[in-house]
Amino acid sequence: MALLSVNVDHIATIREARGIDEPDPVLAAGIAELAGAEGIICHLRRDRRHIKDRDLSLLRQTVKTKLNLEMAPVKELLDIALNIKPDVVTLVPERREELTTEGGLDVARSKEEYKGITSRLKEAGISVSFFINPDPDQIRASLDAGADIVEINTREYSEARSESDILRHFEKISEAAQLARKLKLRVHAGHGLNYVNIKRFSSIPEIEEYSIGHSIIARTLIVGIDRAVREMVTLVSQL
Ligand code: PXP
């Protein structure tokens, strides 16, 4: 049985569209936990476009399952992680102009740099996950750099449209997950997973946890609008 961790970034994205204080990702995280999520994920980006330092600090105080902080491997964020002490840090590449995380880390290229960051996080009792593409070289490099977990990037699979491309990308994920498990790394997966494309993953038991954000927040709006409108109709009809 695999576990779900919910990424609450896009609750904050909606808040920031108005620059006010709702909806609150901290409240949403609590409700996600009550609904059975086994972990809460947020990405503190350098430009603070959605999740803010305030959110991270409150999430640390309130999350009862497991708090996973996604962050770029840079000193500013390393210092914040060492201070806040999330349960897990997921290192991700970050480009300022991207809409969302675009690819995996190139651990193989900067192994020593990742080794240094990873050992500081692990000394502080934080588990370390590397977000990588389903590439055997990146998996071996992640092991060498000290990662506890690899999160396999499912973006190419999620964006593939033809059945042959979908199968090709899925096979890569499956092989990567098997190799990572063989090397005794824990395996997570995420990016672009939704209520349809998740079903195929029953054939990859090596993946113990899925990190899902956008599709859950999108569905939240759609399944929630009926109740939200009814409540306002009642209020307005009483005017
Ligand atoms: N994993 C990582 C490393 C991510 O950067 C993201 C996006 O923030 C996700 C998982 C979740 O992706 P999505 O929002 O498409 O479900």
Q: Is the CB of 191 under 6 A from ligand 1?
A: yes
* Residue 99 pLDDT: 78
Q: Is the CB of 156 under 6 A from ligand 1?
A: no
214 is catalytic: no
Q: Is the CB of 90 under 6 A from ligand 1?
A: yes
C-alpha closest to that of 125 among 93, 85, 160: 85
Helix, coil or strand: residue 7? strand
* Residue 134 pLDDT: 98
191 is catalytic: yes
**Number of C-beta neighbours around residue 145 at 10 A:** 23
CA distance 94 to 46: 8
* Residue 153 pLDDT: 98
* DSSP conformation letters of 89-152: EEE----TT-SS--S---TTTSHHHHHHHHHHHHHTT-EEEEEE-S-HHHHHHHHHTT-SEEEE
Strand (E) or helix (H) holding 80? helix 75-84
User: Which of 211, 216, 217, 220 best tests ligand 1's pocket when mutated (most atoms within 8 Å of CB)?
Assistant: 211
* Residue 97 pLDDT: 76
With a cut of 70, which residues of the chain have pLDDT below it? Answer: none
Domains of the chain (ranges, CATH numbers): 3-237 (3.20.20.70)
Among 43, 50, 169, 188, the one annotated catalytic: 43
Among 70, 94, 151, 206, the one annotated catalytic: 70
C-alpha closest to that of 145 among 189, 106, 188: 106
Q: What are 169-221's pLDDT values in tens digits? A: 999 999 999 999 999 999 999 999 999 999 999 999 999 999 999 999 999 99
Strand (E) or helix (H) holding 173? helix 163-182
